[in-house]
Amino acid sequence: MIRCIAIDDEPLALQQMAGYIQKTPFLELAGQFESALHAISWLQENQVELMFVDINMPDLNGMDFVKSMKNPPGVIFTTAHSEYALEGFRVDAIDYLLKPIGYGDFLKGAEKALERIGSMEKAAPHVESDENFLFVKSEYKILRINLSDIKYIEGMREYVRIHIETQRPVMALMSMKKIEAFLPQQRFMRVHRSYIVNLEKVNTIERHRIIFEPDIRIPVSEQYKAAFQEFLDKNFLL
Q: What is the pLDDT of residue 227?
A: 93
231 compared with 127, residue with greater pLDDT? 231
pLDDT of 196 reads 97
> Residue 82 has what pLDDT?
66
Could you tell me how many helices (H) and strands (E) the chain has, helices first?
Answer: 7, 16
Superfamily (CATH) of domain 2-122: Response regulator (3.40.50.2300)
Does 143 have pLDDT greater than 60? yes
For residue 87, the model assigns a pLDDT of 54
1 band by pLDDT with thresholds 50, 70 and 90: confident
Distance of alpha carbon 82 from the chain centroid: 31
Rounded distance between C-alpha atoms, residue 141 and residue 112, angstroms: 20
Residue bearing the bigger pLDDT, 16 or 140: 16
Does the structure show a pLDDT above 70 at 215? Answer: yes
In what helix (H) or strand (E) does residue 176 lie, and over which residues does it extend? helix 176-182
User: Where residue 12 falls among pLDDT bands split at 50, 70, 90?
Assistant: very high
Q: Where are the domains of the chain?
A: 2-122, 127-234
Topology match between the domains 2-122 and 127-234: no
- C-alpha to C-alpha distance for 12 and 32, rounded to whole angstroms: 12
83: amino acid identity, one letter: E
Task: Report whether 13 contacts 36 (CB < 8 A).
Answer: no
Long-range CB contacts for residues 58-63, cutoff 8 Å, separation at least 24:
58/9, 59/35, 60/35, 60/36, 61/36, 62/7, 62/36, 63/87, 63/88, 63/91
pLDDT, tens digit, for every residue of 156-209? Answer: 877 888 999 888 888 888 888 889 988 998 999 999 999 999 999 999 999 889
Confidence band, pLDDT 50/70/90 cuts, at residue 88: very low
Is pLDDT of 49 > 60? Answer: yes
Q: Which residues pair with 205 in a beta bridge?
A: 210
Pairing label, strands 209-213, 216-219: antiparallel
Q: Which class in CATH covers the domain with range 127-234? A: mainly beta
Q: Does residue 47 sit in helix, strand or coil?
A: coil
Residue 125 confidence class, pLDDT cut points 50, 70, 90: very low
pLDDT of 124 reads 42
H-helix segments, the chain: 11-23, 36-43, 62-67, 85-90, 103-123, 176-182, 222-234
Quick check: 123 pLDDT over 50?
A: no
* Confidence at 84, pLDDT banded by 50, 70, 90: low
As beta bridge partners, residue 153 has 162, 196
Instruction: Give the Cα separation of 14 and 162 in Å (integer).
Output: 30
Of 104, 57, 48, 47, the residue nearest 77 (C-alpha): 57
